[in-house]
Amino acid sequence: MTVLQKKAHDPIAHLSEEDIELIGKELDEIRDSIVADRGERDAAYIRRVIKTQRYLELGSRAVLLGSLFPPAWIAGTVGLSVAKILDNMEIGHNIMHGQWDWMRDPKIHSTTWEWDNVSPAAQWKHSHNELHHTYTNVIGKDNDLGYGIMRVDEDQRWHPAYLAQPLFNFINACFFEYGIAAYDLELGKNLRKGRRNKPEFIARAKQVGRKIRRQVTKDYVLHPLLSGPSFVPTLAANATANFVRNWWTHSVIMCGHFPNGVETFERRSIVGETRGEWYVRQMLGSANISGSRLMHLMTGNLSYQIEHHLFPDLPSNRYQEIAPQVRDLFDRNGLAYTTGPLPKQVASAWAKIIRLSLPNDSWVNKRLSPARAA
């Protein structure tokens, strides 16, 4: 058994190897039942969401033609913000996971979809689908965990540079799509290893540059020009919508990976990892957000982050359906199903980032530690 060998505490110490493989078998059965049941209602769902998003974006941009008037600016900006969130979260993220590939619709397929984001879809799919979802919360392998440069676990050696991580996290939230583009490009890693002149890196960097240019032209040149006398208000509306989308996306992702109760893992802990152990790592390395159907829609159903990490290629509209079965599996095996409302999860994630920016023996670290809270 490999999972969590590094931890002083061990949330699965009470489980045998057979127990863990039985968990994996039950989860495979849940997945198979959904795969066998996929059909027209699922296809209708994603087509309806896409149609709604497209109409909302077009309507909002039309309203912004009159954005010299404050009510029009507010309405258009709110609508555009929601449209951008839907495009990234419930539509783009999930389509590029291959959740709808079974429909065999070339317009809604992971190989053809490009989203409203500065990170090229092809690079995002590699870093997110192939790396993050394979090595979830494995320090040194999963760069989603702290975006590769933050301290996210007490066992990581502290360095004075980590004092700046709360500020870095704030700036990253404001410009999150650019942070994701840099992460997908593995910019820091490539620069540290002197690969800036390598043909492969140059080609990928040019791809990112072209995507950034298209996005900037669309949001900050073309649409403002089409607004004529409303050029400046429309430009401000686009900038505001991107800012809102960035903060929302960043907050949702933090809630899924950073709150208290979420485990991290060493590289050696996944050597020889079985299917059951991979499932258990996803269960322990993710957290959910409780809330309404609207909340789940606006998070791209990443409010069911646990279920998403277990089954990243299942249709997102099915996560709410299988969540009770997954939670029952947690309860029957004595595992903690980490969930909570958005404000609580965001506060927990930020507290962790602040706490781990300081040495383990600091007063603030001790004050904010989960052990003290318990």
294: Cβ contacts below 8 Å, ≥ 6 apart: none
> Could you read off the pLDDT of 54-97 as tens digits, one per residue?
999 999 999 999 999 999 999 999 999 999 999 999 999 999 99
From the CA atom positions of the chain, what is the Rg in Å?
21
- pLDDT bin (cut points 50, 70, 90) of residue 145 is low
What DSSP designation does 158 have? Answer: P
Task: Report the first-to-last Cα separation within the chain, whole angstroms.
Answer: 28
Q: What is the mean pLDDT of the chain?
A: 91
Q: Looking at the chain, how many residues does it have? A: 374
For the chain, give the longest Cα–Cα distance.
69
| Local structure of 341: helix, strand or coil | strand
Note the pLDDT of residue 193. Answer: 74
316: Cβ contacts below 8 Å, ≥ 6 apart: 90, 94, 99, 300, 301, 308
CB 231 within 8 A of CB 66: no
Judged against a pLDDT cut of 80, whether residue 260 lies above it is answered with: yes
Helix H or strand E segment including 364: helix 363-368
Note the pLDDT of residue 286. Answer: 94
- pLDDT bin (cut points 50, 70, 90) of residue 4 is very low
> Could you read off the pLDDT of 292-351 as tens digits, one per residue?
999 999 999 999 999 999 999 999 999 999 999 999 999 999 999 999 999 999 999 999
> Could you read off the pLDDT of 200-229 as tens digits, one per residue?
889 999 999 999 999 999 999 999 999 999
CB 97 within 8 A of CB 121: no
Instruction: Say what percent of the chain tops pLDDT 90.
Output: 74
